[in-house]
Amino acid sequence: MTQAPRRTGSGSGSTPNKATGKTTGKTTGKTTSKTTSRSAGRPASRSDGDESGARRPAAARSEPRRRPSGRQVAAEASRQLVELTGKEPEGIIGLERTEDGWTVEVEVLELRRVPNTTDVLASYAVTMDEHGELEGYQRRARYVRGAAGED
Protein backbone atom coordinates (compact mmCIF):
# COMPACT_ATOMS: atom_id res chain seq x y z
CA MET A 1 0.00 0.00 0.00
CA THR A 2 1.46 3.37 -1.01
CA GLN A 3 0.86 6.45 1.00
CA ALA A 4 -0.09 9.82 -0.58
CA PRO A 5 2.20 12.75 0.28
CA ARG A 6 1.01 14.80 3.24
CA ARG A 7 -0.19 18.38 2.79
CA THR A 8 0.08 21.00 5.48
CA GLY A 9 -2.23 24.01 5.88
CA SER A 10 -5.58 24.59 4.20
CA GLY A 11 -6.16 23.04 0.82
CA SER A 12 -5.59 26.23 -1.24
CA GLY A 13 -2.33 27.36 -2.83
CA SER A 14 -1.99 30.55 -0.78
CA THR A 15 -3.01 32.05 2.55
CA PRO A 16 -4.47 35.58 2.56
CA ASN A 17 -3.59 38.00 5.36
CA LYS A 18 -6.69 40.10 6.05
CA ALA A 19 -4.78 42.87 7.82
CA THR A 20 -2.29 43.62 5.01
CA GLY A 21 -4.16 42.36 1.95
CA LYS A 22 -1.10 40.29 1.04
CA THR A 23 -0.92 36.60 0.21
CA THR A 24 1.67 34.16 1.49
CA GLY A 25 2.55 31.42 -1.01
CA LYS A 26 2.96 27.89 0.40
CA THR A 27 5.92 26.75 -1.65
CA THR A 28 8.14 29.82 -1.26
CA GLY A 29 6.87 31.37 1.97
CA LYS A 30 7.30 34.81 0.34
CA THR A 31 4.68 37.51 0.61
CA THR A 32 3.16 39.02 -2.52
CA SER A 33 0.84 41.99 -2.90
CA LYS A 34 -2.53 41.82 -4.58
CA THR A 35 -3.51 44.51 -7.05
CA THR A 36 -6.87 45.97 -6.09
CA SER A 37 -6.94 48.86 -8.57
CA ARG A 38 -9.41 48.72 -11.46
CA SER A 39 -6.66 49.75 -13.85
CA ALA A 40 -4.38 46.80 -13.10
CA GLY A 41 -0.78 47.85 -12.99
CA ARG A 42 -1.46 51.60 -13.16
CA PRO A 43 -1.49 53.80 -10.06
CA ALA A 44 -4.86 55.13 -8.98
CA SER A 45 -5.62 58.61 -10.31
CA ARG A 46 -5.38 61.56 -7.95
CA SER A 47 -8.40 63.65 -7.13
CA ASP A 48 -6.67 66.91 -8.10
CA GLY A 49 -6.71 66.11 -11.82
CA ASP A 50 -9.56 66.47 -14.26
CA GLU A 51 -11.16 63.60 -16.23
CA SER A 52 -8.33 63.57 -18.79
CA GLY A 53 -5.75 63.10 -16.03
CA ALA A 54 -4.26 66.59 -16.50
CA ARG A 55 -3.30 68.40 -13.31
CA ARG A 56 -4.94 71.69 -12.44
CA PRO A 57 -2.90 74.61 -11.10
CA ALA A 58 -2.59 74.77 -7.30
CA ALA A 59 -4.64 77.98 -7.11
CA ALA A 60 -7.59 76.32 -8.83
CA ARG A 61 -7.77 73.34 -6.48
CA SER A 62 -6.98 75.02 -3.17
CA GLU A 63 -9.68 76.57 -1.06
CA PRO A 64 -9.21 79.77 0.93
CA ARG A 65 -7.27 79.11 4.13
CA ARG A 66 -9.43 78.97 7.22
CA ARG A 67 -8.21 80.91 10.19
CA PRO A 68 -7.15 78.49 12.93
CA SER A 69 -8.82 78.49 16.33
CA GLY A 70 -7.05 79.72 19.44
CA ARG A 71 -6.57 76.13 20.58
CA GLN A 72 -4.90 75.19 17.29
CA VAL A 73 -2.64 78.25 17.39
CA ALA A 74 -1.61 77.57 21.00
CA ALA A 75 -0.78 73.92 20.23
CA GLU A 76 1.25 74.90 17.16
CA ALA A 77 3.09 77.64 19.08
CA SER A 78 4.05 75.16 21.79
CA ARG A 79 5.19 72.59 19.22
CA GLN A 80 7.29 75.14 17.32
CA LEU A 81 8.88 76.46 20.54
CA VAL A 82 9.91 72.93 21.57
CA GLU A 83 11.38 72.36 18.11
CA LEU A 84 13.41 75.59 18.28
CA THR A 85 14.56 75.55 21.91
CA GLY A 86 14.55 71.86 22.79
CA LYS A 87 12.87 72.78 26.10
CA GLU A 88 9.95 70.78 27.50
CA PRO A 89 6.69 72.79 27.69
CA GLU A 90 4.85 72.91 31.02
CA GLY A 91 1.75 74.50 29.54
CA ILE A 92 0.09 77.44 27.82
CA ILE A 93 -0.28 80.27 30.32
CA GLY A 94 -1.64 82.95 28.01
CA LEU A 95 -3.31 83.43 24.65
CA GLU A 96 -4.20 86.75 23.07
CA ARG A 97 -5.66 87.66 19.68
CA THR A 98 -3.91 90.67 18.14
CA GLU A 99 -4.46 92.74 14.98
CA ASP A 100 -1.81 90.77 13.11
CA GLY A 101 -2.40 87.31 14.58
CA TRP A 102 -1.79 85.80 18.01
CA THR A 103 0.51 86.03 21.01
CA VAL A 104 0.85 82.80 22.95
CA GLU A 105 2.54 82.67 26.36
CA VAL A 106 4.21 79.27 26.89
CA GLU A 107 5.80 78.13 30.15
CA VAL A 108 8.75 75.77 29.67
CA LEU A 109 11.07 73.76 31.90
CA GLU A 110 14.51 75.31 31.47
CA LEU A 111 16.44 73.31 34.09
CA ARG A 112 15.32 70.21 35.99
CA ARG A 113 16.50 69.99 39.60
CA VAL A 114 15.96 67.81 42.67
CA PRO A 115 13.70 68.50 44.46
CA ASN A 116 11.44 69.62 41.63
CA THR A 117 10.34 72.70 43.57
CA THR A 118 13.75 74.14 42.62
CA ASP A 119 13.28 73.55 38.85
CA VAL A 120 13.95 76.63 36.73
CA LEU A 121 11.01 77.60 34.52
CA ALA A 122 10.73 80.27 31.85
CA SER A 123 7.89 82.12 30.20
CA TYR A 124 8.14 82.64 26.42
CA ALA A 125 5.98 84.93 24.28
CA VAL A 126 5.43 83.32 20.90
CA THR A 127 3.98 85.46 18.10
CA MET A 128 1.99 83.77 15.36
CA ASP A 129 0.43 85.29 12.23
CA GLU A 130 -3.29 85.10 11.44
CA HIS A 131 -2.80 81.72 9.72
CA GLY A 132 -1.03 80.18 12.72
CA GLU A 133 2.49 80.42 11.29
CA LEU A 134 5.37 81.24 13.66
CA GLU A 135 6.67 84.81 13.40
CA GLY A 136 8.97 84.88 16.45
CA TYR A 137 9.47 84.13 20.13
CA GLN A 138 11.12 85.78 23.10
CA ARG A 139 11.87 84.70 26.66
CA ARG A 140 10.06 87.09 28.98
CA ALA A 141 10.89 85.72 32.43
CA ARG A 142 12.90 83.03 34.19
CA TYR A 143 12.05 81.83 37.70
CA VAL A 144 12.23 78.96 40.19
CA ARG A 145 9.14 76.73 40.33
CA GLY A 146 8.72 76.95 44.12
CA ALA A 147 9.12 80.75 44.31
CA ALA A 148 6.02 82.74 45.14
CA GLY A 149 5.23 84.91 42.13
CA GLU A 150 2.89 87.80 41.60
CA ASP A 151 -0.43 87.08 39.91
**Percent helix, strand and coil across the chain, each to the nearest 5:** 15, 35, 50
What CATH number was assigned to the domain covering residues 70-144? Answer: 3.10.450
Write 116-119 long-range contacts (CB < 8 A, 24+). 116/145, 117/144, 117/145, 117/146, 118/144, 118/145, 118/146, 119/144, 119/145
User: What global pTM score does this model have?
Assistant: 0.57
Beta bridge partners of residue 125, listed in sequence order = 105, 138
Q: Where are the domains of the chain?
A: 13-62, 70-144
Q: Shortest CA distance to 108 belongs to which of 76, 134, 73, 145?
A: 145
Across the 151 residues of the chain, what is the mean pLDDT of every consecutive 10-residue run?
50 49 47 42 47 54 79 97 96 96 97 95 97 96 86 58
Whether residue 72 contacts residue 80, with contact meaning beta carbons closer than 8 Å, is answered with no
